Amino acid sequence: MNGEHQSSIAFWPIFSIGGISLFVVFFFIAAAHYPGGSNAHLHAIGFSWADNYWCELLGENAKNGVRNLARPYAMIGMVILSVSVSVFWWNIPKMVYEKSRLIRSVMRYCGMLSMLFSALIFTNWHDGIIYAAVITGAVSFTLLFYELFRNKRDFLSYFGVVCLGFIFMNCIMYITNFGIEFLPLIQKITFAITLIWIILVILQLKKHTYPSKT
């Protein structure tokens, strides 16, 4: 393993974990600047953790019709998150798949596509973007879960399945409107457990890399 490869392995976990942490900071800053309003309460003041969605922080106007002062902070946070998790998906396949270059590529590019789609949820293609992000992300997640399970990392694999279950729960609730009043809160729980899972995967696997070409 050459020095350049070792250096990239040493740096990217810090980059991804730091970026995820910075996203959380910008999430709270954006929430603090949100003027107010939600689907449940149009004239409410401020951001409600129970009623507002993340994507509402990205809109040009708040739900109450006022110009959304949270948007710049939310946009910065979204870019940081997308880049940080894309770096995770670029590097993690070579840490868990020693032989199959095809599987590494599928996991890598589906994961990165998922983050690219996620970064575009503020556009007019919101619904289609969400479905595309979930489908591509599910492919990468499933391949990673399988390899974690195969390597006896049961906690990480089971925790990951829980994350994916929450992601699909979000989609089902959104599509069917069943329990839709709880979806904003479920969305934030999904954010939290998924980002925690990614950090745990990085911390657990960063010392177990393969010297294979990507």
Q: Residue 70, SS3?
A: coil
Residue 213 located in a structural domain: no
pTM of the model: 0.84
Burial of 27 (0-12, 13-18, 19+ CB in 10 A): buried
Residue 214 located in a structural domain: no
Residue 71 located in a structural domain: yes
pLDDT in tens, 7-25: 445 688 999 999 999 999 9
What stretch of H or E contains 123?
none
Q: Kindly report the average pLDDT of the chain as a whole number.
A: 85
Share of the chain above pLDDT 90, in %: 43
Residue 80 located in a structural domain: yes
Does the structure show a pLDDT above 50 at 42?
A: yes
Does the structure show a pLDDT above 60 at 6?
A: no
pLDDT in tens, 53-70: 998 999 899 999 899 999
Residue 143 located in a structural domain: yes
Residue 200 located in a structural domain: yes
- Domain housing 84: 3-205
Number of domains in the chain: 1
